[in-house]
Structure 1
Amino acid sequence: MKRIVQLFVLVLVLAAVPALLPPYYVTLLNYIGISALVAVGLVLLTGVGGLTSFGQAAFVGVGAYTTAVLTTSTSLPGWIAWAGASPWLALVAGLVITGLIALLLGSLTLKLSGHYLPLGTIAWGISLYFLFGTLDFLGAQSGISGLPPITIGSFSFDEGGEIYYLIWAFVLAAVVTTHNLLDSREGRAIRALKGGVVMAEAMGVDTSRSRIVIFVIAALHACAAGWLYAHMQRLVNPSPFGLHHGIEYLFMAVVGGAGYVWGAVIGAGLVTLLNQWLQDWLPRLFGHAGNFEIIVFGLLLLLILHRAREGMWPALLRLFRVKAEPKVVVEGAAALPRRTLPARGEVILEVKDVTRRFGGLVANKDMNFSMKAGEILALIGPNGAGKSTMFNQISGVDTPTSGEIVFAGQVVTGRDSREIARLGMSRSFQHVRLLPKMSVLENVAIGTHLRGSGGVFPSAWRMERPEEERLLAEAARQIRRVGLEAHMHDEAGSLALGQQRIIEIARALAADPSLLLLDEPAAGLRFKEKEALAELLKKLKAEGVAILLVEHDMDFVMGLVDRIVVMEFGQKIAEGLPEEIQQDERVLAAYLGGVE
């Protein structure tokens, strides 16, 4: 409710601006709004998704040139002639064309990683820019003029003070829908990209799809900005769509706060105004024209980034002591459907003759063991024994060189972790993989991803709220289950390492698994916390959940598990009950310090 009131007040303020400010500043606000629309897409793409793009100005150009060609040409082919009847139809055509181009470029570019990704965006950004200035039907360097104004009925947006309302309506729609999207199941999947592909895929997130989704959305925002720019200027030429403008848009997102939706608006306003003021005042100060504004502009941006590394929006929130409201958990929300667990004693996992080679190194050799539903099995061995490699092959992170893994009656050898997670396997990690800036509740809710179905469009328009309430209620239930209710709304990164490991277990439980893989779950826990964890695992066992764990704390293992598999140099050297393993000479020699 508070958010709706704040938005209503903002709309009233924006509506009053043309009557209160001179036309010059209204025009500046038009440019700020158009830039903010592009920057909102970059917040989603770069700030949240972690995918750096320097090529957004080219998508602005696609939107601008599409509407310019369609609304000024007198001889359009029949299949596209419908789009030339109105700028609004040209917008639809532009969004479709931009979306197809973004799908093509994204499918090629997003396969790159590291510094190759931004270099790839520079490559196609430059290519599209020169394409605009080369093709004759686009007007080459002269561009296209005589664009009609945007109209609604008899009303025409042909003046700066009139199109101002349309521009800011688009900006507010982009901000609100982006905020809604991030505050949803789909949004958590997008934010999980920064936590690493391995973690996200293990929770059932299709990371390739999520990357393409945000790439296309960012491109569509840029296309809409280009459409508005073209009909505001009534002229289109290549100059506003070059690489330096793409860099400027990225600056806006970063300076405003790359991970914050409203930061895009703040960044666009700050960069645009600063750039304009420097162009106006520096020639007067130095007495002649030059590129002084570029030098000073760069230094000032460097200072801002140095003093407010997260951007201006979070700095403003801290300055005015504004804290994000905790998510509301609807306690009466209907419970999510539960998985039917296999009958106790039924074989749920089989590892058959699994060998994994990395060149000349044999990490696992002829590994064989099985697990039953409702059983706790420990995989132990000295450092370098190949336990983590075995874990990764079982969960789909890695693929055996030879051998076979069967889970829930299906051969999962070579299948990706997302598919295996859908069958009922969930896991934690040896090195904690959480999103530190997200709350404990939101981190655990990532585990519910496969238990929901809300898509991008319903999420952006808050049409999936009933499902979202159920997912959050399930996450809250698992948090209480592991004893972290007091920290439900705290940032996950603010908790101790042992508590973060418990969060990972809660996240894995939120997926409703039939097999739970725990990689050193007791590491970093105090004695009482270990006791509580052991009790939780015993309860899960009683419910019929199978648990495979890697652990170095032998006191914790021996008093908890049903059976133990011992590894050394990638091979199984012993398997049996805890009391049998404690007396096995091979185990004592390899792992427990030898025998007298």
Structure 2
Amino acid sequence: MSAPNRQAAVLPAVDVARSGAASVLSSRNILVAFVAVLAIAPVLLPEFYITLLNYIGLAAMVALGLVLLTGVGGLTSFGQAAFVGVGAYTTAVLTTSQALPAWLAWAGSPWPALAVGLLITATVALILGSLTLRLSGHYLPLGTIAWGISLYFMFGTMETLGGHSGLSGIPPINLFGWVMDEGREIFYLIWAFLLVAALTTENLLDSREGRAIRALKGGMVMAEAMGVDTSRSRMVIFVIAAMHAAAAGWLYAHLQRFVNPSPFGVHVGIEYLFMAVVGGAGQVWGAIAGAGVITILKQWLQDWLPKVFGASGNFETIIFGLMMVVILQRARDGLWPLLARLVPARGTTRVIDASAEPLPRKAMPAAGEVILEAKNVTRRFGGLVANNDMNLHVEAGEILALIGPNGAGKSTMFNQLSGVDTPTSGEVLFRGKSIAGHGSREIAHLGMSRSFQHVRLLPKMSVLENVAIGAHLRGTKSVLPSAWRLDRVEEARILREAAFQIERVGLGEFMHAEAGSLALGQQRILEIARALASDPCLLLLDEPAAGLRLKEKQALGELMKKLRGEGMAILLVEHDMDFVMGLVDRVVVMEFGQKIAEGLPDEVQKNPRVLEAYLGGVE
């Protein structure tokens, strides 16, 4: 049966989740009500509250970038305030200078200065990101502190930027003759910028590119094995977060009509990070909640604590710090999930368009063709030899088991074959092409996919979205089309493919459940579905039967036989000998990093060296 017809046979069973439309409608109604409140706020509220809302909007824009960078991508940055400064100082210099060079004279008004500021910020972010994002662990946030401090002192040191006295006389923003020279006028522009940024960020996360960004938290090895360019994804969110901050800086400069270095220090960057975390680090709309709570709380403390404790001292900072600790303890996921519970959800499922065109498939290799071949592969770690002169091959349409006692070197061999590690010597060929030294992402594009010994899923994402990550390499739409909803045709095709693979492995009833809610055995099956979504001709399965009950093992065995019948090659590492011997075509046995036996299952079970090393010894 051809691939499209196979899908047609499965997809009618997929639940077309119309309840998702109700959820969208409910969210849209809330958004419309929120915009309506914002529209009438300047008419009803006094000047003080308008100013407060303006600062909340500006802070929320910076926090929104941190939601994407830290909450979703897992990259902690303390330097976002410096990017606010880049945007603010760029427009301040351009719009107040009386002697711009002729080639830059066009940028002497606010709107062109915004474009220049975003361009400069993107350039600076690319340079800093190329240095900082190579760091990991605690070195990454320390790196952001380092360049955050450097930019802060640069703002106060350079005479062209006004030194510590700053720059004044910044003109107001003019939009089609509307001069925004007061807080009430610029209010609408600030919140329009914020809402557009929030909606485009939400669109981005609900896309192929967004799943790649969210996959960063599942680990680089998993994401790369699914075809995600993790270095690019990290850089993308770093630059987007910087540009959100720069736009906030541009608005701030024209709101204040004056800039100096004080709002752009690392201490303010820490405050922005607080806003993102308190609001809900992984929640787009949590940025607004966090910015609102912290801005209002600080203002309230500054107004009331001096009346209680007297005018001297920084009691508001002390109390604010203690309150932040309590909030982080009591609401570890932030405030937005708590607020979201107040609105009953009508549906959380995704619509699967069964009429979407299937994704193209690669032609499967001819039965018996050698798909993967390892020749004299050796891997040394100092004086330890983990793999020693290993040879094996896998043919299309067969299941090969790689077995051996613990410490035999199976996982190391797996890593050499899948591109996670590079052999010290020897050669690995995949469909005749040498892949030793090539990354797992590149190998995934050639048609190899894998599961993991320790399950690597995104537990808060649905089963459908986890499997859709596997189809990442089969799409092409990038950041801008995703942010502006120009990727919907491709997205429908990817979700259709994911739904097909979920039904194929027997998890259809869990399609819209959170992956973390599944039992361990079901999660292992889910990993196979994700691997299949990449359209491989070779599957590397690392202990897929671990944790499965008898019937689940039987279903897994039937699935693997079905895949073999379609021409797929499967390399299997497994400890369950009953499962292996009744399923596979050939067996390779390892001990102490070397191959000690190879052959048919019956032959291997009778091999004296195998019996001695692995199956309990010769009687």
TM-score, structure 1 normalization: 0.99
Match of 1:45 in 2: 69
Residues in 2 aligned to 1:175 and 1:110: alpha-carbon distance in whole angstroms: 24
- The alpha-carbon deviation at position 9 of structure 1 amounts to 2.2
Partner residue of 2:507 out of 475, 484, 494: 484
Q: How does 1:305-384 map to 2 (within 5 A)?
A: 305-322=328-345, 325-384=348-407
Residues in 2 aligned to 1:290 and 1:167: alpha-carbon distance in whole angstroms: 34
**Residue segments in structure 2 that go unaligned for 5+ positions in a row:** 1-23
Question: 2:465 matched to 1:465?
Answer: no
Residues in 2 aligned to 1:323 and 1:488: alpha-carbon distance in whole angstroms: 17
Question: Taking structure 1 as reference, are residues 498 and 484 closer, same or farther at Cα in structure 2, changes over 3 Å only?
Answer: same
Match of 2:4 in 1: none
User: Percent identity at matched positions?
Assistant: 74
- The alpha-carbon deviation at position 323 of structure 1 amounts to 7.0
Post-superposition Cα deviations, 1:275-326, rounded to whole Å, max 9, x if no partner, equal 0000000001113232000000011111111100000001222354547622
Q: Secondary structure at the match of 2:471?
A: helix
Residues in 1 aligned to 2:33 and 2:144: alpha-carbon distance in whole angstroms: 38
- The alpha-carbon deviation at position 5 of structure 1 amounts to 3.1
Residues in 2 aligned to 1:396 and 1:135: alpha-carbon distance in whole angstroms: 48
Match of 1:12 in 2: 36
Q: Secondary structure at the match of 2:164?
A: coil
Match of 1:139 in 2: 162
Match of 1:454 in 2: 477
Residues in 1 aligned to 2:346 and 2:235: alpha-carbon distance in whole angstroms: 32
- The alpha-carbon deviation at position 263 of structure 1 amounts to 0.5
Residues in 2 aligned to 1:188 and 1:154: alpha-carbon distance in whole angstroms: 42
Residues in 1 aligned to 2:490 and 2:589: alpha-carbon distance in whole angstroms: 43
Residues in 2 aligned to 1:286 and 1:189: alpha-carbon distance in whole angstroms: 51
Q: Secondary structure at the match of 1:354?
A: strand
Q: How does 1:549-588 map to 2 (within 5 A)?
A: 549-588=572-611
Q: Is the 8 A contact 1:58 1:246 kept in 2?
A: yes
- The alpha-carbon deviation at position 74 of structure 1 amounts to 1.1
Match of 1:235 in 2: 258
- The alpha-carbon deviation at position 19 of structure 1 amounts to 1.2
Match of 2:8 in 1: none
In structure 2, give the amino acid aligned to 1:217: I
In structure 2, give the amino acid aligned to 1:281: W
Residues in 1 aligned to 2:69 and 2:190: alpha-carbon distance in whole angstroms: 21
Q: Is the 8 A contact 1:317 1:323 kept in 2?
A: no
Report how many aligned residue pairs link the two structures.
595
Residues in 2 aligned to 1:321 and 1:114: alpha-carbon distance in whole angstroms: 38
Match of 1:66 in 2: 90
- The alpha-carbon deviation at position 502 of structure 1 amounts to 0.6
Question: 2:517 matched to 1:494?
Answer: yes
Give the stretch that moved more between structures: 5-14 or 346-355. Answer: 5-14
TM-score, structure 2 normalization: 0.95
Residues in 2 aligned to 1:52 and 1:79: alpha-carbon distance in whole angstroms: 38
Partner residue of 1:296 out of 316, 319, 332: 319
Partner residue of 2:152 out of 126, 129, 144: 129
Q: How does 1:149-548 map to 2 (within 5 A)?
A: 149-322=172-345, 325-548=348-571
Residues in 1 aligned to 2:29 and 2:200: alpha-carbon distance in whole angstroms: 17
In structure 2, give the amino acid aligned to 1:540: L
Q: How does 1:76-91 map to 2 (within 5 A)?
A: 76-84=100-108, 86-91=109-114
Q: Is the 8 A contact 1:516 1:547 kept in 2?
A: yes
Q: Secondary structure at the match of 2:387?
A: strand
Question: 2:51 matched to 1:27?
Answer: yes
Q: Is the 8 A contact 1:181 1:187 kept in 2?
A: yes
- The alpha-carbon deviation at position 81 of structure 1 amounts to 2.1
- The alpha-carbon deviation at position 349 of structure 1 amounts to 0.7
Match of 2:19 in 1: none
Residues in 2 aligned to 1:18 and 1:100: alpha-carbon distance in whole angstroms: 37
Residues in 2 aligned to 1:382 and 1:81: alpha-carbon distance in whole angstroms: 73
Cα RMSD of the aligned pairs, angstroms, is 0.9
Q: Secondary structure at the match of 1:141?
A: helix
Partner residue of 1:98 out of 116, 121, 142: 121
Residues in 2 aligned to 1:102 and 1:27: alpha-carbon distance in whole angstroms: 30
Q: Is the 8 A contact 1:564 1:581 kept in 2?
A: yes
Q: Secondary structure at the match of 1:340?
A: coil
Q: Secondary structure at the match of 2:486?
A: coil
Give the stretch that moved more between structures: 558-567 or 283-292. Answer: 283-292
Residues in 1 aligned to 2:484 and 2:229: alpha-carbon distance in whole angstroms: 22
Q: Secondary structure at the match of 1:169?
A: helix
Residues in 2 aligned to 1:531 and 1:276: alpha-carbon distance in whole angstroms: 63
Post-superposition Cα deviations, 1:113-157, rounded to whole Å, max 9, x if no partner, equal 000000000000000000000000000011110011001121111
Residues in 2 aligned to 1:416 and 1:82: alpha-carbon distance in whole angstroms: 46
Q: Secondary structure at the match of 2:364?
A: coil
Question: Taking structure 1 as reference, are residues 39 and 400 closer, same or farther at Cα in structure 2, changes over 3 Å only?
Answer: same
In structure 1, give the amino acid aligned to 2:560: L
Residues in 1 aligned to 2:499 and 2:256: alpha-carbon distance in whole angstroms: 52
In structure 1, give the amino acid aligned to 2:474: R
- The alpha-carbon deviation at position 20 of structure 1 amounts to 1.7
Residues in 1 aligned to 2:391 and 2:356: alpha-carbon distance in whole angstroms: 44
Q: Secondary structure at the match of 1:79?
A: helix
Question: Taking structure 1 as reference, are residues 323 and 565 closer, same or farther at Cα in structure 2, changes over 3 Å only?
Answer: farther
Residues in 1 aligned to 2:376 and 2:397: alpha-carbon distance in whole angstroms: 24
Post-superposition Cα deviations, 1:486-518, rounded to whole Å, max 9, x if no partner, equal 111111111111111011000000001000000
Q: Secondary structure at the match of 2:540?
A: strand
Post-superposition Cα deviations, 1:175-198, rounded to whole Å, max 9, x if no partner, equal 000000000000000000000000
Match of 1:118 in 2: 141
In structure 1, give the amino acid aligned to 2:92: A
Residues in 2 aligned to 1:141 and 1:539: alpha-carbon distance in whole angstroms: 71
Post-superposition Cα deviations, 1:353-395, rounded to whole Å, max 9, x if no partner, equal 0000001110000001111111100000000000000001100
In structure 2, give the amino acid aligned to 1:363: A
Residues in 2 aligned to 1:451 and 1:286: alpha-carbon distance in whole angstroms: 63
**Residue segments in structure 1 that go unaligned for 5+ positions in a row:** none
Match of 2:3 in 1: none
Residues in 2 aligned to 1:491 and 1:73: alpha-carbon distance in whole angstroms: 55
Residues in 1 aligned to 2:515 and 2:70: alpha-carbon distance in whole angstroms: 22
Residues in 2 aligned to 1:323 and 1:414: alpha-carbon distance in whole angstroms: 50
In structure 1, give the amino acid aligned to 2:504: R
Q: Secondary structure at the match of 1:261?
A: coil
